[in-house]
Amino acid sequence: MTIFGSTLTMNHPVNAETMRSLSTVPVEDLSSALFPEWRIRFVESSSSVEGLQMAPTFNHRSVQLAEVLDLFSPVPAGVIVDCTLGGAGHAVALLEARPDLSVVGLDRDPVALAAATKRLQPFGSRAVVISTRFDALADVVEAGLAGRGPWPKNSEGEPLLVVGILFDLGVSSPQLDDPERGFSYRADAPLDMRMDQREGQTASELVNSIDLDALTDLLRENGEDRLARRIAKAIVAARPIATTGELAEIVAGAVPAAVRRRGHPAKRTFQALRIAVNAELDQLSLGLDAALEVLVPGGRCVVLSYHSGEDRLVKRAFQVAMTGGCTCPAQLPCVCGATPVVAKLHGGSLGATDEEIAVNPRAESVRLRAVVKLEEGQSA
C-alpha cells in the first residue's frame, strides 16, 4: 500500500515508458518510481514546481453523479471511502456538496492516482489518496482509525468514522482510451490490460498459457459469450498472441458474419480477459465484505456495476447482509437467529436515465445498488 499525502502534486505526463518501468518497482517506492527524474514535492501550488509539465489529463465523465450525491446526502459527518477513485469525479462532487465530509480515495492505477491527487489538492486534509487495491479496504480503514496512516481527522485530532463507501466498478475512460494500456480492441498495442502495470499477469501472458477449457469457461462467464468455445479454439490455434490488434483480428475471424454486424465481435472477449487479468470479481467480493463491516450504523454503501456478473455478485452480497444470512424458508418467520446488517435503499437496481446515456454512452450498462447499515438489533 502506498500512501500519497493529500497535497502531493506530481508533474509528469505518465507515458508508456514510465508505465513499463513501474513493473519492476516495489509498491512502497511507487511515488519516487513514478517520476524518477522529475520532482515530487509537497507544494502550495503546482506552478511553483520548476520544470513543470502537466499532470496526466484524465477525461472521464462520472456516471450517475446526481444519484450518488443524493444517496449519500443523509449520511452523518465523516469519511466517504471512494474505493475506485479514478479521476476523482465522484469524490470532488461529494466534497463540494458536503463540507462536513472527507474522502479517502483508493485506486490501483498509478495514472488515475496521479490525476486524482492533483485534482483533490484544493481540498487539503479533507482528501487522502491511497495507492492500493480495494481488497485491502479493511486494513486501510483499520490503520487509518488507529492513527497508523494518514486519515481525515476532526478538530480534536480524532480520526473520522466511515459513513459511506462508493464502488464505481470497471475501467475508466482514460484506461480504455489509451491504446498503450492494451484494453482496447480498436487500436494495436501490447496486449496488457492490467490496471496496475506493476503487478500480475498481462492479458498476453494469460491467453498464451491458459488451456482451452479454462479459456472457454472464462469467456463464457466473464464475457457471457455464446461463441466462447469457438473463439477460445481460434485463440489457442493462433498462439502466441502479443497485441490487441492480433487478438481482435483472431476473434473477428472466428465469429459468423451476422455476429460481426452487431457491434465489434471482440468486445466481449476483451471484457472477459480484462475481468480475469485484474481478478475483478474476487476483488469485488472481498471489497464488499469489508465495506459492510467498516461502515458505521447509518452509513451507506453505493455500488455502480457495468457487467451482469458484477451486479449479480453485489445483489447476492447485499441480500445476505439484508437477511443476516438467514436460512429459514422464505414464507416462514425467521427462527435461525440471523440478524440483518443492512437495509436496501430502493427496490431492485437503478439504471441511468435516457438523458444521461445520451451524453455519456458509458452509462448505458450501469446498475446501481445501495444499502444502509443498521444499528445492532435494528430491523430492516
Ligand X SMILES: C[S@@+](CC[C@H](N)C(=O)[O-])C[C@H]1O[C@@H](n2cnc3c(N)ncnc32)[C@H](O)[C@@H]1O
Cα–Cα nearest to 140, from 190, 105, 90: 105
Closer Cβ to ligand X, 116 or 241, answer by number? 116
Residues 265 to 284 in contact with ligand X, rule: CB under 6 A: 283
152 belongs to the binding site for ligand X (CB under 6 A): no
Smallest distance from ligand X to CB 332, Å: 39
117 belongs to the binding site for ligand X (CB under 6 A): no
Q: Which of 4, 123, 134, 318 binds ligand X (CB under 6 A)?
A: 134
Q: Which of 56, 78, 86, 164 binds ligand X (CB under 6 A)?
A: 86
168 belongs to the binding site for ligand X (CB under 6 A): yes
Q: Which of 14, 33, 112, 342 binds ligand X (CB under 6 A)?
A: 112
Contact 284, 369 (CB under 8 A): no
- Please report, as a single letter, which amino acid is at residue 13: P
Q: E strands along 119-197, which residues? A: 127-131, 162-168
Smallest distance from ligand X to CB 112, Å: 4
127 belongs to the binding site for ligand X (CB under 6 A): no
Contact 93, 99 (CB under 8 A): no
84 belongs to the binding site for ligand X (CB under 6 A): yes
Task: Output the residue with the shortest Cβ distance to ligand X.
Answer: 86
67 belongs to the binding site for ligand X (CB under 6 A): no
Stretch that binds ligand X, among 10-18, 108-116, 269-277, 350-358 (CB under 6 A): 108-116
CA distances in angstroms from 244 to 191, 199, 221, 365, listed in the order given? 5, 19, 21, 23
88 belongs to the binding site for ligand X (CB under 6 A): yes
Smallest distance from ligand X to CB 297, Å: 25
Smallest distance from ligand X to CB 137, Å: 9
133 belongs to the binding site for ligand X (CB under 6 A): yes
108 belongs to the binding site for ligand X (CB under 6 A): yes
CA distances in angstroms from 92 to 28, 87, 89, listed in the order given? 26, 9, 5
Burial of 261 (0-12, 13-18, 19+ CB in 10 A): exposed
For residue 167, the cross-strand partners are 303
Backbone angles phi, psi at 139, to 5 degrees: -65, -40
107 belongs to the binding site for ligand X (CB under 6 A): yes
Q: Which of 9, 11, 18, 62 binds ligand X (CB under 6 A)?
A: 62
222 belongs to the binding site for ligand X (CB under 6 A): no
Could you give the CA distance from residue 15 to residue 34 in angstroms, rounded to a whole number? 10
Asked if omega into 240 is within 30° of 0 (cis), the reply is: yes
Smallest distance from ligand X to CB 17, Å: 20
Q: Which of 56, 78, 87, 223 binds ligand X (CB under 6 A)?
A: 87
Cα–Cα nearest to 175, from 59, 83, 267, 304: 59
103 belongs to the binding site for ligand X (CB under 6 A): no
Backbone angles phi, psi at 104, to 5 degrees: -110, 120
∠ Cα 374 375 377 (to 5°): 105
Binding site residues, ligand X, CB under 6 A? 60, 62, 84, 86-90, 106-109, 112, 133-134, 168, 170-172, 195, 283
